[in-house]
Structure 1
Amino acid sequence: MIGKIILVLLIGLLALGYQALVPPPPKICGSPGGPPITGTRVRLRDGRYLAYKESGVPKETASYKIIFVHGFSSNRHDASLATSGLVETLGIYLVTFDRPGYGESDPDPKRTVESTALDIEDLADKLELGSKFYVIGFSMGGQTVWGCLKYIPHRLAGAALIAPVVNYWWPSFPSNLSVEAYNQQFMQDQWALRVAHYAPWLVHWWNSQKWFPSSSVIAGRLKLSKQDIEIASQTHEKRKAWKEHAVQQGEPESLYRDLIIGFGKWEFDPMNLKNPFVDNEGSVHLWQGDEDGLVPVLLQHYIAKKLPWIQYHEVPNAGHLFPHVDSARDAILKTLLIGDK
């Protein structure tokens, strides 16, 4: 009898452990009980749907066509670049999209840095943007731009990385430098990133348990600069709505998979990339605020040194949210599209 009781208890503990480790299935948009489909979507090469939003001038008359990649816990409605006064002046067409698992885009359980870059190429072809287009990625979306530079460089007219999130485990980083930058993060974030890198199967449990602090970024307790605090107070309601929409299919296929991919072992090292514009037919830019508390500026310095073909722009007294400043948006677009013209 005692043996049977112990066996039942063990089975119960294993079942509880399995439930804690394995995330629930995503609530697919348009499925029974899932969120409604409210935006425009395209069907990709593997049957998944990608939701997108168009801004700016009509693509048929546009001089420049840009695909913008949103950051962590955001979505296709983050089209702040489209509010720049240069959109009409230069004739800019801008398309934003929900990355897989975010907003109204179907999750991709096999998502990688490469697959998201191919999603962008697929989206461009479905929208008939032509043989070449520009890509801009903000924060975690910057990692997707690295993927575009690796996997679809032949499709790019130019690229901009805005405060791009770095992976502390990229092989080219000197260990002392990556450790110094890593230690600048909150202790709870250091642990959250360790789990994502070394034990991705624990990410769901780690970020859903209540015993000790998990990711401060997921919790919305960010390390903000003075400028960030001002911007966040002005955009609080909008950003809150963005996050609610971003994770409506569930955090495992949006936020948690972002952590696993962004801080896992990459298929390539960005610092080994070659210049895709050897004939100066395009350019690549990296923009970084010097008071960014989320993305260490010293690692961006190293990247700029290793890849001199990337034009590095450091914004003084700026935090992570500086692209929401009008002058910054104008500078990013003007520099990428027309340079010194």
Structure 2
Amino acid sequence: MSDHVRTADGRQLRVEVSGDPRGRAVFLLHGMPGSRVGPRPRPMFLYHRGACLISYDRPGYGGSDRHQGRQVADVVQDVSVVADALELDSFAVVGRSGGAPHALACAALLPDRVTRAAALVGLAPRDAEGLDWFAGMAPSNVDEFRTAYTDPERFAARLIPRSTAIGRDPERLLAQLRKDLTDDDRSIVADTAIRSMMLRNFREALRRSPYGWIDDILALTGPWGFDPADIKVPVLLWHGEHDVFSPVSHTSWLAARIPHSRKVVDPGAAHFTALRALPRIIDWLIGGPVV
């Protein structure tokens, strides 16, 4: 089921619900560039697990209106609006890659509604004390994040034509990433079903504008608007040891600061292995055993 929800400030959010409509609610916060149609378990898997999976386009992506100047913490208002529209008092939340900090924001700022939270292959705050933020990161990501942090106008000017080209031909993004992919990541991206979901996801993310992607990166490299140390709900932090897009040191930093968190590092995995880990993590989010 796909629908639209209107925020208090008049913005429109495009929402998608899959799985068991009466099941335990889990918000899936997509990566970047990403959208509500990003990779997720099949509806039948979700239905059999008793899970209702809710995803929506973050502002500026797909069918959602832009929220210029947004912080990571602003996700809380949007998730709350969607949850209210679906008449949900409580829910779990999971974010992958660029969505992971947004999931942590919900855990920190909605303690009365979020039951459990998971962050997969996520990033730490740009000002994380004691963390060499760029260590172990692919040169392409270092350049992108550093430019966004030091010269946001130049960063946006560079990303706009790139985003337009990828929106027309999503294979371009996978080709650009290929040189930084590990063998494990290459095998996952080569999977026909996963690749099809990824290409559909990129196309939908960028079909209207580049600003979801631009605003995501500016938000991630700016002040987040919350402190991960304030999180009180149970948190699962999952990472692949060989990830070069968001290095595992970021998850280690978060695990040392978030109370009631559990860190899981897959020694043979990299960034896109999170897609295969997601079904197990959804099981945990709805009350299953520790992953």
Residue pairs, 1:308-319, within 5 angstroms:
308-319=259-270
Match of 2:30 among 70, 93, 105: 70
- Letter of the 1:46 counterpart: D
Q: Residue 208 of structure 1: CA displacement?
A: 5.0
The answer on whether the counterparts of 2:29 and 2:102 sit within 8 Å (CA) in structure 1 is yes
Partner of 1:231: 188
Task: Note if 1:241 corresponds to 2:226.
Answer: no
- 1:205 alignment partner in structure 2: 157
CA contact (8 A) 1:82 1:94 kept: no
In the other structure, the counterpart of 1:323 is: 274
Give, in whole Å, the separation in 2 of the partners of 1:155 and 1:171.
27
- Structure 1 CA distance for aligned equivalents of residues 76 and 41 of structure 2: 21
Q: CA deviation at 1:57?
A: 1.0
SS of equivalent residue, structure 1 residue 154: coil
Whole-Å Cα distance in 1 between the matches of residues 139 and 69 of structure 2? 30
> Closer, same or farther in 2 for the Cα pair 1:289/1:97, shift >3 Å?
same
Look up the match of 2:254.
303
SS at match of 1:149: helix
Q: What letter is aligned with 2:33?
A: S
Q: 1:160, CA displacement in angstroms?
A: 1.0
Structure 2, unpaired ranges of 5+? 163-171
Q: Deviations for 1:283-333, whole angstroms, at most 9, x for unmatched residues?
A: 2111111121211112212221222411111123111111332xx233212
Kindly indicate whether the alpha-carbon contact (under 8 Å) linking 2:29 and 2:100 is maintained by their aligned counterparts in 1.
Answer: yes
Deviation at 1:229, TM superposition (A): 0.4
For residues 176-325 of structure 1, the aligned pairs below 5 Å read 177-178=131-132, 182-208=134-160, 219-220=173-174, 221-222=176-177, 223-234=180-191, 235-251=194-210, 253-270=211-228, 272-276=229-233, 283-325=234-276
* C-alpha displacement of 1:199: 2.3
The whole-number CA distance in structure 1 between the counterparts of 2:137 and 2:227 is 22
Count of equivalent residues: 276
Aligned residue for 2:41, secondary structure, equals: helix
8 Å contact kept, 1:84–1:330: no
Identity fraction in percent: 26
TM-score scaled by length of structure 1: 0.74
Separation of aligned partners in 2, 1:188 and 1:239: 20
Whole-angstrom CA distance in 2 between matches of 1:308 and 1:193: 28
Q: Which residue of 1 aligns with 2:102?
A: 144
Give me the whole-angstrom Cα distance separating, in 1, the residues matched to 2:261 and 2:245. Answer: 21
CA contact (8 A) 1:39 1:52 kept: yes
RMSD of Structure 2 on Structure 1 (CA): 2.3
Counterpart residue type for residue 153 of structure 1: P
Q: Determine the C-alpha separation between the residues in 2 that align with 1:158 and 1:323.
A: 18
Q: What is aligned with 2:287? A: 338
CA distance in 2, matches of 1:238, 1:338: 27
2:128 to 161, 171, 176: 171
**C-alpha separation in 2, matches of 1:190 and 1:329:** 26
Deviation at 1:241, TM superposition (A): 2.4
Q: Contact between 1:196 and 1:260, CA under 8 Å: does it hold in 2?
A: yes
Read off the aligned partner of 1:320 and give its amino acid letter: H
Task: Report how far residue 101 of structure 1 moved.
Answer: 0.7
Asked whether the 8 Å contact 1:196–1:264 carries over to 2, the reply is: no
Q: What is the rounded CA distance, in whole Å, between the counterparts of 2:272 and 2:39 in structure 1?
A: 14
Q: Deviations over 1:152-194 (max 9, x none)?
A: 2221111111111333x2333x1xx41xx51422334323212
* 1:171 and 1:269 in contact (8 A); partners too: no
Q: 1:324 to 1:299 in 2, by over 3 A?
A: closer
Q: 1:204 to 1:128 in 2, by over 3 A?
A: same
Instruction: Tell whether 2:74 aligns with 1:127.
Output: no
| Paired amino acid for 2:186 | I
Q: Paired residue for 2:14?
A: 51
- 1:118 pairs with 65, 72, 77, which one? 77
- Contact 1:118–1:152, Cα closer than 8 Å, also in 2: no
The verdict on how the C-alpha distance between 1:238 and 1:307 changes in structure 2, with shifts beyond 3 A counting, is closer
> Structure 1: any 5+ residue segments left out of the alignment?
1-37, 211-217, 277-282
**Structure 2 counterpart of 1:170, one-letter code:** D
